[in-house]
């Protein structure tokens, strides 16, 4: 399963880092994308040892970002935390650091200003990331998250930042967040022309969706045309792994990791 990566957010069922890796390996999954809190729980040194010992590919580290803040001190604190995230990504040998950029700071209604804070924040950390050899992957989030989680909501918006900042910044294309975009095909093609597709995340959009954050679907259970989007991404030149990232508090997070990964592998083969 070299083309399937498991974002460890999918396995938030109480398992330890080592247990999650054991479940992945049992089903032939040798690529992962951990979250920083999961790494911190086991310790960065131990997590890196587990990765090295099992010859795992780390397709990304989640997450950096969250740049906008009401004052300069808050913005600097975010930058400092992102520098630590770069160090963690480098230690794990991650393909990229995924950036969820943040929404409107405080009581602000200035989304244009928030987006500028995002660009400024990435610019401030970019030299450090380049020196560490860690690409930065901006993940556009669905517009429903514009106020609180990510004021960058389309691939094109993310690519505009990439154009402004230069090499070392690209995009993580998560189907949950971009499947609805009428300009999706042209945006993916643009990203490919720029060589800026750094990651591809998959899950599904359920109808109905009971919680916009914590009710993502298993591939094949929703309305996203996963094969069509993958075809666009491959036509744009990206042939890397598809990374399963499912936030599912009331369903998949309640199941054993072995069952979750077994299902992910089956669905990947059938519908992705």
Average pLDDT, the chain: 98
pLDDT at site 1: 60
Domain count for the chain, please give it: 1
- To which residue do tokens 């498991």 refer? 6
pLDDT at site 18: 97
Instruction: List the domain range (segments joined by +) for residue 54.
Output: 4-271
The CA dihedral of 134, 86, 230, 156, to the nearest 10 degrees, is -90
Nearest C-alpha neighbor of 129 from the set 78, 167, 103:
167
- pLDDT tens, position by position, for the chain (272 residues)? 679 999 999 999 999 999 999 999 999 999 999 999 999 999 999 999 999 999 999 999 999 999 999 999 999 999 999 999 999 999 999 999 999 999 999 999 999 999 999 999 999 999 999 999 999 999 999 999 999 999 999 999 999 999 999 999 999 999 999 999 999 999 999 999 999 999 999 999 999 999 999 999 999 999 999 999 999 999 999 999 999 999 999 999 999 999 999 999 999 999 99
Could you tell me the CATH number of the domain that includes residue 131? Answer: 3.20.20.150
Dump the DSSP string for 23-79. HHHHTT--EEE-BHHHHHHH-HHHHHHHHHHTT-EE--EEEEE----SSHHHHHHHH
Say which DSSP state 255 is in: S
């Amino acid at each position: 399963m070299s083309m399937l990566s498991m974002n460890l957010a999918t396995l938030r069922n109480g398992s330890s880092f080592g247990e999650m890796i054991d479940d992945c390996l049992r089903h032939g999954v040798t690529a992962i994308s951990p979250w920083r809190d999961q790494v911190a729980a086991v310790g960065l040194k131990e997590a890196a040892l587990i990765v090295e010992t099992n010859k795992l590919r780390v397709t990304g580290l989640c997450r950096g970002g969250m740049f906008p803040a009401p004052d300069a001190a808050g913005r600097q604190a975010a930058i400092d935390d992102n520098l630590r995230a770069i160090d963690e990504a480098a230690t794990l040998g991650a393909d990229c650091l995924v950036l969820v950029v943040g929404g409107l700071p405080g009581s602000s209604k200035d989304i244009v200003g928030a987006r500028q804070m995002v660009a400024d924040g990435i610019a401030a950390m970019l030299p450090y990331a380049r020196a560490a050899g860690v690409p930065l992957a901006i993940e556009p989030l669905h517009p429903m998250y514009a106020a609180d989680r990510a004021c960058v909501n389309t691939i094109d918006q993310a690519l505009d930042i990439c154009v402004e900042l230069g090499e070392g910044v690209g995009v993580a294309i998560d189907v949950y967040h971009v499947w609805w975009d009428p300009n999706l095909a042209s945006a993916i093609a643009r990203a490919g022309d720029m060589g800026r597709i750094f990651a591809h995340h998959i899950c599904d959009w359920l109808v109905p969706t009971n919680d916009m954050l914590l009710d993502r679907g298993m591939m094949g259970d929703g309305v996203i045309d996963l094969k069509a989007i993958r075809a666009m991404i491959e036509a744009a030149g990206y042939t890397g792994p598809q990374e399963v990232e499912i936030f599912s508090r009331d369903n998949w997070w309640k199941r054993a990791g072995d069952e979750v990964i077994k299902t992910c592998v089956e669905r990947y083969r059938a519908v992705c």
